[in-house]
Copies of this chain bind each other. A is one copy, B any other.
């Protein structure tokens, strides 16, 4: 209110976080971040937004969807700025996610190794063909993967 000196414009946040303004507005739209408005309707962000954005980008890197990230963020306390412990709690869950994913990939690889030997790739008998369970999330229909980082602009 009185002193907005301690807040950041969207451009400043973009510069400091490396996340384009378009993406920041998109995140706000999706409820991942919030902002105040000036009298002139411009966004002003608290500095703590930077850590939040760092969390979001890291979580994306882990492979979570914005939806999932959004849910994780919702468990943060609303009555005070998140502490280190809060962030640590959230990110420790990523570990399990990662472990599971590594596991699934390893199983896939082991099956594949067998398949290369037998040269099967048969629709009926190949183990690779019948692994819908685990890999469904990471297999076909996977998000178009792309080095979206920087670079593009």
A residues lining the B interface (CB < 8 Å) = 16-18, 50-51, 53-55, 57-58, 60-65, 84-85, 87-88, 91-92, 94-95, 98-99, 101-102, 105-106, 108-109, 112-113, 115-116, 119, 121-123, 126, 128-129, 131-132, 135-150, 152-153
* Distance, CA A145 to CA B62, complexed state (A): 13
CA distance A139 to B138 in the complex (A): 10
Identify 18 residue pairs between A and B in the complex whose beta-carbon atoms are under 8 Å apart, listed by A's number: A16-B123, A51-B122, A54-B123, A57-B140, A58-B126, A60-B141, A61-B108, A88-B119, A91-B112, A94-B112, A95-B113, A99-B109, A139-B145, A141-B143, A142-B148, A144-B145, A144-B148, A146-B152
A65 vs B130: C-alpha distance when bound (angstroms):
19
Which residues of B lie under 8 Å from residue A137 when comparing CB positions? 145-147
Q: A122 contacts which of B54, B85, B112, B150 (Cβ < 8 Å)?
A: B54
Could you tell me the distance between the alpha carbons of A86 and B80 in the complex, rounded to whole angstroms? Answer: 61
Least distance between A115 CB and chain B CB atoms (Å): 7
Measured between C-beta atoms, what is the minimum distance from A110 to chain B in Å? 10
Instruction: List, in ascending order, chain B residues with CB within 8 A of A136's CB.
Output: 61, 146-149
Complex CA gap A76/B58 in Å reads: 40
Chain B nearest CB from A3 CB (Å) reads 24
